[in-house]
Amino acid sequence: MLEAIIIITSIIVIFTIAIIVRAMWDPFYCCFMTTSDIGVLSSASLIKISSSVYISEHFINSGNSGKWARSITKFSRMLVVVHNGELCLYNPCPLTTELRKELAELGRIRRVVVTNCFHYAFLSQYIDACPEATFLVPQGMMWKRPEFQQHCIAIPAATEGSLFPGTHYFRLPDFYQEHVIFVEEANLLYCSDTLYIREPETRPHGRLEVRLMQGFIRLISFSQPCGAIHYFDYVRQFRLPGSNDLHKKNVESWRKIFALPITRVTTGHGVFCGCVSVTKAELENLLRCIERKDGWMDRAGRMVFRMCIRRSPIRYRDWTCLYDEEAQFGYHPSVKEEEEPGLRCCISETPNKE
Ligand SMILES: [Fe+2]
């Protein structure tokens, strides 16, 4: 009898710890581990995907604020699209001297886009280096980081459209205005945080910490098995309150995205080189995983997340501010757009069907 009680108690404790770690890992990491002195451990040369598409890949740690921060490492990827000698960069990576040279050889940086409310760590490097470029960020970023308002333009309110010739964006209802980018010429889908590659064709390094990081990502995501590419199921915990139809809208967005002629996928993080090939069958399988309704782990994680985050607005300011009404799609400063008449010709919106 005593053994049974010990076993049951242990199982409950393990699951409770797992739920708390899963719910709080990202806020903890973003609020306490990431500092302004993010370290670049290694940088690869630009990876050519097609004649006009490149990936810049870096292996970074979270700064030098302490032992734990130095230990947390991740791959970070920037998408580079070239059109008529002009470049559009999605999710700015560390602007190293080598990268600066490589980009200069490709053309002039015309536009820099941050695709969700968390991928802005290196944005100021580009603002300083490219005064002639235009900088686009999700509307929530204008609220989260008001200091960027003087330099940046909010991505249009429409849920899909184009920010640069040959590219198309879709804003997902999930994960704080995550924008998925499709590049026609390369049949490439770029998604920063809601997808991850589980079984890459090639691995960039055989280093122990890389393998550990891959295992850790699998652990915290608790993703359902769905082939080489996984949906980061843990983002279900961060869904905004009061959006009961959010799951349905999310599935509709992904269904529309996967109807595109996608043959390659790349993500903001994850252990692989450049991008991976993907088949229609794999995307259909992935869609079935996204269609899965939220499970008890997701609901329990959401409860923990809301309890910790929303009740500690000061400590978790980077996250709680995204729940403010102004950070949602109603906040759309237009002053900068009016100052920049040339921008309109490059940014097109697909009418918002919502
Ligand atoms: Fe990310």
Residue 352 has pLDDT above 50, yes or no: no
**For the whole model, what pTM was predicted?**
0.84
Ligand 1 center from residue 119 Cα (angstroms): 6
Ligand 1 center from residue 81 Cα (angstroms): 20
Ligand 1 center from residue 332 Cα (angstroms): 23
Q: In sequence order, which residues have a C-beta less than 8 Å from that of residue 137 and are 6 or more positions away? A: 113, 114, 120, 123, 148, 152, 153, 154, 155
Residue 205, classed as helix, strand or coil, is coil
Q: What is the pLDDT, as a whole number, of residue 351?
A: 43
> Rounded mean pLDDT of the chain?
81
Ligand 1 center from residue 12 Cα (angstroms): 31
What average pLDDT does range 55-65 have in this prediction?
Answer: 77
DSSP 330: T
Which of 36-45, 74-83, 188-197 comes out lowest in average pLDDT?
36-45
Ligand 1 center from residue 91 Cα (angstroms): 9
Ligand 1 center from residue 114 Cα (angstroms): 11
Ligand 1 center from residue 234 Cα (angstroms): 13
What average pLDDT does range 194-221 have in this prediction?
Answer: 64
Domains of the chain: 2-350 (3.60.15.10)
**Are the C-beta atoms of 156 and 192 separated by less than 8 Å?**
no
CA 235 to CA 215: how far, in whole Å? 18
User: Do the strands 86-90 and 108-113 form a parallel or antiparallel pair, or are they unpaired?
Assistant: parallel
Ligand 1 center from residue 255 Cα (angstroms): 22
pLDDT-derived band at 30, boundaries 50, 70, 90: low
Ligand 1 center from residue 118 Cα (angstroms): 6
DSSP 321: G
275-322 confidence digits (pLDDT tens): 999 999 999 999 998 998 888 888 888 888 888 877 777 777 777 777
Which of 10-24, 167-181, 261-275, 336-350 comes out lowest in average pLDDT?
336-350
DSSP per-residue string spanning 270-299? SSSSS-EE--HHHHHHHHHHHHSPP-HHHH
Ligand 1 center from residue 192 Cα (angstroms): 6
pLDDT-derived band at 95, boundaries 50, 70, 90: very high
Q: In sequence order, which residues have a C-beta less than 8 Å from that of residue 161 and are 6 or more positions away? A: 168, 169, 347, 348, 349, 350
CA 43 to CA 60: how far, in whole Å? 9
Q: What is the pLDDT, as a whole number, of residue 350?
A: 53
Q: What is the pLDDT, as a whole number, of residue 220?
A: 63
Ligand 1 center from residue 5 Cα (angstroms): 41
Ligand 1 center from residue 269 Cα (angstroms): 6
